[in-house]
Amino acid sequence: NAAQIERIVDGLNPQQRKAVVHEGGPLLVVAGAGSGKTRVLTSRIAYLIASGRARPSEILAITFTNKAAKEMRERLEQNLGGLARSMWISTFHSACVRILRKEHEALGMRSSFTIYDQTDAQRLMNMVCRESNVDSRAFPPKTLSRQVSDLKNEMVTPTEATRRAKDRATTVLAEAYTAYQKRLHEANAMDFDDLIMQAVLLLENHPDLAEHYRRRFRHILVDEYQDTNTAQYQLVKVLTGSGDQGEDPSSAVVPQADLMVVGDADQSIYAFRGATIRNIEDFENDFPNATSILLEQNYRSTQSILSAANAVIANNQGRRPKKLWTDQGGGEKLVGYVADSEADESNFVVEEIDRLRETSGYRYGDIAVFYRTNAQSRAVEDMFVRSGIPYRVVGGTRFYERREIKDAMAYLHAVANPDDTVSIRRVINMPKRGLGQKAEDHVAQQAARYGISFGAALADVAHPGVSGREEIEGLTVRARKAMVSFVEILENAREVAASGAGPAEVLDEVMDGAGYLAMLRESTDPQDESRLENLAELHSVASEFRTINPEGTLEEWLDQVSLVADSDQLPDEAAEAANEGEVTLMTIHTAKGLEFPVVFVTGLEDGTFPHMRSLADPKELAEERRLAYVALTRARQRLYLTRAATRSAWGAPQEFPASRFLEEIPRELVDWRREESSQDVVRSRYGGQGRFGRRGGFSDDFVDDDGPVFGSRTSFVPGRLGAGSGASGSGDAGDTATSGGAGGSGDS
């Protein structure tokens, strides 16, 4: 099938071609971003089939996300047609689920085993800890749950954890792990980390099964190898047959599978999930007779974009320097913009998108906006909704659909409308107050009996005798107490609202009163940290509303938000019809492996990106820098870099200096549309600190490990929206410069 082969390798450079047709021994392709690693991997699969070296069913290709798997399959279908269908192209997790479901008997599980997500796993760990009387102050279940996850990523079994236990902490962990695992098994369930670990154990403990899969998968190809963890690495070893069992003569029956891995140590960004670049660095030791191929030509980006990315990553210590080049020419300069606030920043993004469409012929679908943390999408989403720009948020939930935001809004709706049954029932036991289904049923029955709302029946419990209705029967003392305190929380918040306070203050009152924030702050789950960030963001929205409408009530704000949240849902039909697509909003982590003609990297501030948490730790800072490298190298033609001089946290504007990554980019590569914020201008006029002299000036509050402090009752100084609409003259800016300082106590 020479013509087909020629088509597959056509256009590849010599190094790429070498990797595609490589024969004999494990193959490692290491190369910088956009050098065609994924393309080579895909082409190699096509080549193996077209040349008759492999049948489709003998291929196992591992990608990092389901989206990437889907793209790869589509590419292969273009090349090979229906043949591509019987290939396994999937993530590590889905490949393992497939194996585990098939081999459930060997595992002693029913094939219908349930997969527990992080919340389920967490809940189970809570139960285990309660049952075995673990001191939850000294050993919070959430921490234990995360540690168990780490152990599983390291392939440490409960038995091994018990053997290694040497002090109280490790003993408690080992016991919790053992009990947790037992409960999982009883529930016929596996958690996410189990999927990989159990698959490895299965194959290691059942040589016959291992042999079966080795016969089946003769070619194993792994993309983004730099982000594999120990468990995934061991899976690759046992599947290729190159693991320790190599000394076992019985395994010599099946020759080793052909292994190809591709990756880039500079793009390793999942250390927090146990990924280790050791896997890529030690590949040649781990797999004897390995061949390494280096790719150096970048086909994705212009020289300006590439030079900027190279300059940033060069600041990481102890990496192998790479010389990545492109023949695409310099291209446009990068565009830089310093905004006064995040609203100003989003406004700039919107204006540029309009300009790109009008003057350069780009479609919405060509454009992506990146941010470091999910909470940052809110400001961009708001501005997009307002300007009618169609967008979709990838890998995250739209802001107003997030669980914690819905909870907070449900509380506020319950405050505003005592009869709002859905909202009340959503949060009646959130955080947990020991109110079960039974107790709720009693209230619901009472409501039905008297034809009143659930909320009214609930209020009766708190104020017995007042309404003249009979009391609810069958409630336990505990449930009754919990209901009384829940009603009080809502009533207190109603009082605050009635006294003329704005929505932000009501939010403070109700979220503090309910213990919702305390629940998140005490948690060590990183997800809860981002939930706090999201709630801080919601607080900013609420206080900004009051800045613009000094008399605005809670109800008015709720209406406004409901409308935004609603119009969010509607697909933009006009844009669809014009085949314009949608602007993509995503965190940088989810952007890995993708490319876009136009990329906006927002929030380039020290404390935002690099993330506040990483500033004091060189290792984490290095990981943030790799993340920056990933971000910059997603862009093909145009790259925008923006930062906001002040960003709001809990309604108080916080000043942020420029990201060090921004300063690592050579000046001549960037066309600065606006290089100084209004604050900077004032400061230089009045002899304040220079533009680069403000690093480290964060308030202690903000750096505190408990996360940002909720409910600082300060007024918001520069209106977020005002700043964006050009209302911020130098007078406003002066206020900001004096009041918005490191402490963020903007109540001057």
723 assigned to a ligand binding site: no
Q: Is 333 assigned a catalytic role?
A: no
Report how far apart, in Å, the C-alpha atoms of 226 and of each of 29, 244, 271, 284, 495 are.
Answer: 11, 22, 10, 14, 55
Closest distance to ligand ATP from the beta carbon of 45 (Å):
13
Helix 2-9 / helix 66-80 crossing angle, nearest 10 deg:
140
Please indicate whether residue 38 is annotated as part of the active site: yes
Which of the listed partners (Mg ion, ligand ATP, none) does 16 bind, with a CB threshold of 5 to 8 Å by partner kind? ligand ATP
CA torsion, points 612, 614, 617, 620, in degrees to nearest 10? Answer: 180
Examine residue 141 and tell whether it contacts Mg ion (CB under 5 A): no
Cα–Cα distances in angstroms (integers) from residue 240 to residues 191, 207, 259, 274, 282, in the given order: 25, 13, 7, 22, 17
Residue 37 annotated as lining a ligand binding site: yes
The CB-of-392 to ligand ATP minimum distance in angstroms stands at: 21
Q: Is 503 in the site for Mg ion (CB under 5 A)?
A: no
Q: How far is the CB of 327 from Mg ion (least distance, A)?
A: 20
> Given phi > 0 = left and psi -120 to 50 = alpha, else beta, which region is 87?
beta
Residue with tokens 């921490």: 143
DSSP for 177-214, please give it. HHHHHHHHHHTTEEEHHHHHHHHHHHHHH-HHHHHHHH
Q: Angle between the 477-498 and 403-416 helix axes, to the nearest 10 degrees?
A: 80
| Residue (72 or 99) nearer to ligand ATP, CB | 72
- Contact of 230 with 276, CB cutoff 8 Å: yes
299 interacts with, out of ligand ATP, Mg ion, none, CB within 5 to 8 A per kind? ligand ATP
Shortest Cβ 595–ligand ATP spacing (Å)? 6
Residue 412 class from Cβ within 10 Å (0-12 exposed, 13-18 middle, 19+ buried)?
buried
Asked about 634 being catalytic, the answer comes back as yes
Q: Phi first, then psi: what are they for 676, rounded to 5°?
A: -130, 145
Catalytic position from the list 234, 267, 642, 646 = 267
Of 226 and 679, the one with the shorter C-beta distance to ligand ATP is 226
Question: What's the full length of the chain, in residues?
Answer: 748
> Which residues 6+ apart lie within 8 Å of 273 measured at CB?
153, 229
Selecting among 175, 224, 624, 701, the annotated active-site residue is 224
425 vs 711: CA distance, rounded Å: 25
Distance CA 612, CA 587 (A): 16
* Interface ranges with ligand ATP (CB under 6 A): 11-13, 16, 31, 33-39, 264, 267, 299-300, 593, 595, 633
- C-alpha to C-alpha distances, 602 to 235, 350, 453, 628, nearest whole angstrom: 37, 12, 46, 11
Residue 55 to residue 246: CA distance in whole angstroms:
25
H or E element: which one contains 583? Answer: strand 583-587
Q: Which stretch binds Mg ion (CB under 5 A): 56-64, 78-86, 588-596, 703-711?
A: 588-596
What does the block give as tokens for 115? Answer: 């997969």
Options 38, 226, 553, 608, the catalytic residue: 38
Our answer to whether residue 67 is catalytic in this structure is no
| 644 marked among binding-site residues | no
Q: Report, in this order, helix, strand and coil percent for the chain, each rounded to 5.
A: 55, 10, 30
Residue of 435, 330, 346 lying closest to 384 (CA atoms):
346
Least separation in angstroms between CB 10 and ligand ATP: 9
Residue 502 or residue 593: which is nearer to Mg ion going by CB?
593
For residue 678, give the nearest of 193, 306, 377, 344 by alpha carbon: 344
| Smallest distance, ligand ATP to C-beta of residue 231, A | 22
Of 36 and 140, the one with the shorter C-beta distance to ligand ATP is 36
Residue from 243, 593, 707, 746 in contact with Mg ion (CB under 5 A): 593
Determine whether the annotation assigns residue 25 to a binding site.
no
The single residue of 16, 37, 42, 647 carrying the catalytic annotation is 37
What amino acid occupies position 546? R
Structure tokens at 193: 């980390």
Binding partner of residue 455 among ligand ATP, Mg ion, none, CB under 5 to 8 Å per kind? none
> Taking CB within 5 to 8 Å according to partner kind, which of ligand ATP, Mg ion, none is near residue 51?
none
Catalytic residue among 103, 223, 344, 605: 223
Q: Is 267 a catalytic residue?
A: yes
Exactly one of 152, 494, 626, 634 is catalytic; name it: 634
In the list Mg ion, ligand ATP, none, the entry touching 33 (Cβ below 5 to 8 angstroms by class) is ligand ATP
Closest distance of CB 308 from Mg ion, Å: 19
Minimal distance, residue 260 CB to ligand ATP, in Å: 13
Report whether the peptide linkage leading into residue 207 is cis, meaning its omega lies within 30 degrees of zero: no
17 versus 93: smaller Cβ distance to ligand ATP: 17
Identity of the residue, 39 or 626, whose beta carbon is nearer to ligand ATP in the bound complex: 39
Q: Which stretch binds Mg ion (CB under 5 A): 77-85, 342-350, 418-426, 592-600?
A: 592-600
Q: Does 35 appear as a known binding residue?
A: yes
Work out how close the CB of 635 gets to ligand ATP at its nearest, in angstroms, rounded to a whole number: 11
Residue 33 annotated in ligand binding: yes
Q: Is 584 helix (H, G, I), strand (E, B) or coil?
A: strand
Residues numbered 195-214 forming contacts with Mg ion, rule: CB under 5 A: none
Residues in contact with Mg ion, shown as a per-residue x/- string from 12 to 51 under the rule CB under 5 A: -------------------------xx-------------
- The answer to whether 653 contacts Mg ion (rule: CB under 5 A) is no
Examine residue 304 and tell whether it contacts Mg ion (CB under 5 A): no
Residue 688, marked binder:
no
36 assigned ligand-binding residue: yes
Give the residue with the Cβ less far from ligand ATP, 31 or 393: 31
Q: Which residue is nearest to ligand ATP (CB)?
A: 36
240 in Cβ contact with 220 (< 8 Å): yes
- Residues catalogued as catalytic: 37-38, 223-224, 267, 634
As annotated, the binding site for ATP includes 31-38
Residues in contact with Mg ion by the rule CB under 5 A = 37-38, 593
